[in-house]
Amino acid sequence: MYKKIKIVKVDSDYCNFLRKYDDKVSYNAGNKELRPFVGILFTVNNCEYFAPLSSPKPKHIKLKNTLDLIKINDGIYGVVNFNNMIPVTNNNYTEFDLNKKTNGKNEQYRIQLLNNQLRWLTSNKKDIYQKSKILYNLYINDKLPRNVKDRCCNYPLLEEKCAIYNN
């Protein structure tokens, strides 16, 4: 019923294009190979969506799950920022290689973190899909509290721009 959740890296040129229309699209610095712009890929409203992952920070432990954010393993592995999810096609991302050989401790830590995040997200996939669809539908139907809507990307506008970019 639910598609497999994947860790993907989104093309920085595509993100820069979308940011021209919505400043809430997260920055994706193409030169940060060690810390690439990665997130999870899933389907909402018959459209593939990418939601950025955030590495663990002390504040994540104290945060609560909200309409637009879910803590990964109680924040130990970071969070998923649903407010910054963007539509993508398979032309806009590459699947992140979680089996690649690493060259240093930082890179080893990053790969291990991504594997831990993916394991947790996969075991909670139903909740991930439900949360993303609820947020999307509340946004589309203008039912979100103003403070939440203000930090969300404009999903319908970005779907239009995604189609333009990929044609």
pLDDT tens, 101-157? 877 888 888 889 999 999 999 999 999 989 999 999 999 999 999 999 999 999 999
Q: pLDDT at residue 61 above 80?
A: yes
Q: How much is the pLDDT for 165?
A: 97
Given pLDDT bands bounded at 50, 70 and 90, which one contains residue 37? low
Q: pLDDT at residue 30 above 70?
A: no
Q: How much is the pLDDT for 146?
A: 96
**16 Cβ contact partners less than 8 Å away, ≥ 6 residues apart:** 28
- Pairwise CA distance, residues 104 & 7, whole Å: 21
Instruction: Kindly report the CATH number that applies to the domain delimited by 6-165.
Output: 3.10.129.130
Q: pLDDT at residue 67 above 70?
A: yes
| Type of residue numbered 17 | F
Q: How much is the pLDDT for 154?
A: 97
Neighbours of 71 (CB within 10 A): 20
Compute CA distances 115 → 1, 9, 43, 118, 132, whole Å.
23, 14, 21, 5, 21
Q: How much is the pLDDT for 34?
A: 39
Structural domain boundaries in the chain: 6-165
Q: How much is the pLDDT for 153?
A: 97
Beta bridge partners of 40: 7, 51
Conformation bin of residue 99: beta by default, left when phi > 0, alpha when psi is -120 to 50: alpha
Average pLDDT, the chain: 88
pTM of the model: 0.87
Sign of the torsion formed by the C-alpha atoms of 118, 161, 153 and 139: negative
Q: How much is the pLDDT for 33?
A: 46
